[in-house]
Amino acid sequence: MAHSYRLVVSCPDQVGIVSRVSGFIAAQGGSITEANQHSDLATGRFFMRYEIRFASSVDDEILRIAFAPIAETFSMDWAFHDTQRRKRIVLMVSRASHCLVDLLYRWKAGELDCDIPCVISNHEDLRDLVEWHGIDFHHIPVPAADKTHAFEETQQRIEAARADAVVLARYMQILPPSLCERYADRVINIHHSFLPSFAGARPYHQAYERGVKLIGATCHYVTQELDAGPIIEQDVHRISHCHTAQDLVRFGRDIEKTVLARGLRWHLEDRVLIHGNKTVVFA
């Protein structure tokens, strides 16, 4: 039975990497069905992503042991991802439902190849919607006075769910540094502005006040510095003087939905490689 892997590599650039890696794959009987490479001239770093199909089932462990010497030669950060193993994604939401409705639709329609073990929210509002999809819903209130316990419980839920990644689908709370660090490069946020413009609170109202002619949304990995992590995807929508701040919020919901869905899909397919505070996206 056919078996597919994704090989993702980043390492210092030098002559011969592609030759060695593609030679290895051919030797293992693998066929490269999609290939992406990028050489960053500014930093001298090389990035690659291969989709590889083997005609019959392959043992992960053997593949990894066989590849390790090549990886060492080139000082690679690397991973083989078995495409049959679906990533486990925990969604976190607050009260606004648009991103959640959108992600659950896509998940149900097969556009997002992942499991969703649970949804965590600081409000009860979206329980019905989540449970209608057959997904567990955990209500963890986050009292302004003391958020410590809430985030401890949150972390326990995430770990109990054996989450590969966490998606903040308009969660509206700032995660504590410990959680950011514990899930570094694995927490995806949607920010409702075209970053770096209008970081922080009420970005649509900031945009309205400034009189910009396009508004946007940004999907990025969460780091300890607010709204400053590596950007995965962005998009914009044209507005005019006719539109109120409320209209901006409404248009923005549509951008947020599509930008987050694209960013998550790419993450699930191992298309996003982090490079310092930037990303390489093999979309």
Least separation, in Å, of the C-beta of 138 and a copy of itself?
21
The catalytically annotated residue of 227, 235, 247, 254 is 227
Least separation, in Å, of the C-beta of 204 and a copy of itself?
14
Residue ranges with strand state E in the chain:
3-12, 30-40, 45-54, 77-82, 87-93, 114-115, 118-121, 136-139, 165-168, 187-191, 214-221, 231-238, 272-275, 278-281
Which residues lie near a copy of itself (CB under 8 A)? Answer: 15-16, 18-19, 22-23, 25-26, 29-35, 37-42, 97-98, 101-102, 105, 109, 111, 132, 194-198, 210-214, 216, 230-236, 240-242, 244, 250, 254, 258, 275, 277-281, 283
Using the minimum distance from each CB to a copy of itself, give the nearer residue, 127 or 147: 127
Token pair belonging to 57: 């089932």
Q: Does the annotation count 227 as an active-site position?
A: yes
Using the minimum distance from each CB to a copy of itself, give the nearer residue, 154 or 230: 230
Using the minimum distance from each CB to a copy of itself, give the nearer residue, 111 or 159: 111
- The number of beta carbons lying within 10 Å of the beta carbon of residue 8 is 21
**DSSP code, position 50:** E
Using the minimum distance from each CB to a copy of itself, give the nearer residue, 158 or 188: 188
- Residue 6 corresponds to which amino acid? R
Least separation, in Å, of the C-beta of 208 and a copy of itself?
8
Least separation, in Å, of the C-beta of 219 and a copy of itself?
9
Least separation, in Å, of the C-beta of 149 and a copy of itself?
32
Using the minimum distance from each CB to a copy of itself, give the nearer residue, 173 or 197: 197
Whole-angstrom Cα distance, residue 103 to residue 272? 19
Which residue(s) pair with 138 in the sheet? 120
CB 76 within 8 A of CB 68: no
Using the minimum distance from each CB to a copy of itself, give the nearer residue, 161 or 230: 230
Whole-angstrom Cα distance, residue 225 to residue 222? 8
Token pair belonging to 151: 């985030």
For 21, half-sphere exposure in the C-beta direction (CA atoms, 13 angstrom radius) is: 30
For 274, half-sphere exposure in the C-beta direction (CA atoms, 13 angstrom radius) is: 15
Quick one: CA dihedral 81, 85, 86, 92, positive or negative?
Answer: negative
Least separation, in Å, of the C-beta of 173 and a copy of itself?
22
End-to-end CA distance of the chain: 27
The catalytic residues are 227
